[in-house]
Amino acid sequence: MAEFALSRRLAAEAAGTGFLVAAVVGSGIMAERLAGGNVALALLANTLATGAMLAVLIVALAPVSGAHFNPAVSLVAALRRDMAAGEAALYAVAQCAGGVTGTIVAHAMFALPPVTWSLHARAGSAQLLSEAVAAFGLVATILATARFRPAATAYSVALYVMAGYWFTASTCFANPAVALARSLTDSFAGIRPEDVPGFVAAEIVGALAAAGAFAWIVHAAPRASREM
């Protein structure tokens, strides 16, 4: 990753987050149109498209930028001193800009206005707990898999997010940039703008909790456990 200039890494983060959000929003629009009111079927379609895109993006762009696509992940990287705090902040800006662009592009592909503020309510303690759990699990997956099975990180993260769509009440946003971008679409994937701050706070809490817990869990693991 250090081989690439910061400008290239930021471009990779923006592009990757943009494609991720375009997949989430675009597949949600397509699913809603084709599922005939079957919400479970629409969610399944949305899940498969998101997981597939996420795996591809991580494989393609991890060598350039680390493939964070998520301000919470960049924050954890900075706290672990894997990157400078200033670079993490710039990553977050690029990710948010890319995510917003992804929503606008998805709308354009389906002949919708660039921005349609979401009316989809995602509020309440259950939703916030879900987002904290989702972010905790995502960061835990990244840290543990990168430590013990780095070649499997892309698929582990994608599979975790796909599972999260179904085992969390919030459908596993786990990403402040994605939450922001999804507030701009009044479609299947949307979230009301007023619900975004709560989601972002819960995601950061979950990510920080995972960073603390897994700094201890995977620290100085015996060689035998690394080879399991």
Extract the tokens encoding 192.
Answer: 């009301």
Burial of 34 (0-12, 13-18, 19+ CB in 10 A): exposed
**Can you say whether the dihedral through the CA atoms of 66, 67, 70, 71 is positive or negative?**
positive
Question: Given this model, what pLDDT does residue 170 score?
Answer: 98
Residue 194 placed within a domain: yes
Counting the structural domains of the chain, the total is 1
Residue 147 placed within a domain: yes
Give the count of beta carbons closer than 10 Å to the beta carbon of residue 192: 16
> Which DSSP letter does residue 124 get?
S
Question: Given this model, what pLDDT does residue 228 score?
Answer: 42
pLDDT digits (tens, 9 = 90+) for 184-208: 999 999 999 999 999 999 999 999 9
Global pTM? 0.94
HSE-up (13 A, CA, CB side) for residue 117: 5
Can you tell me the distance from the alpha carbon of 188 to that of 42, in angstroms, rounded to the nearest whole number?
8
Question: Given this model, what pLDDT does residue 221 score?
Answer: 54
Residue 68 placed within a domain: yes
pLDDT band at residue 219 under the 50/70/90 scheme: confident
Is the predicted pLDDT of residue 226 greater than 60, yes or no? Answer: no
Residue 77 placed within a domain: yes
Can you tell me the distance from the alpha carbon of 198 to that of 149, in angstroms, rounded to the nearest whole number?
33
DSSP-assigned states of every residue in 147-178: HH-GGGHHHHHHHHHHHHHHHSTT-----HHH
pLDDT digits (tens, 9 = 90+) for 48-79: 999 999 999 999 999 999 999 999 999 999 99
CATH of the domain at 57: 1.20.1080.10
Question: Given this model, what pLDDT does residue 1 score?
Answer: 55
pLDDT digits (tens, 9 = 90+) for 118-141: 999 999 999 999 999 999 999 999
Q: Which domain holds residue 114?
A: 6-226
Residue 26 placed within a domain: yes
Question: Given this model, what pLDDT does residue 222 score?
Answer: 52
* Mean predicted lDDT score pLDDT of the chain: 95
Can you tell me the distance from the alpha carbon of 193 to that of 197, in angstroms, rounded to the nearest whole number?
8
At residue 217, the 3 state secondary structure works out as helix
Residue 158 placed within a domain: yes
pLDDT digits (tens, 9 = 90+) for 177-190: 999 999 999 999 99
Which amino acid makes up residue 47? T
Residue 1 placed within a domain: no
Name every residue whose Cβ is closer than 8 Å to that of residue 219 and which is 6 or more positions away in sequence.
none
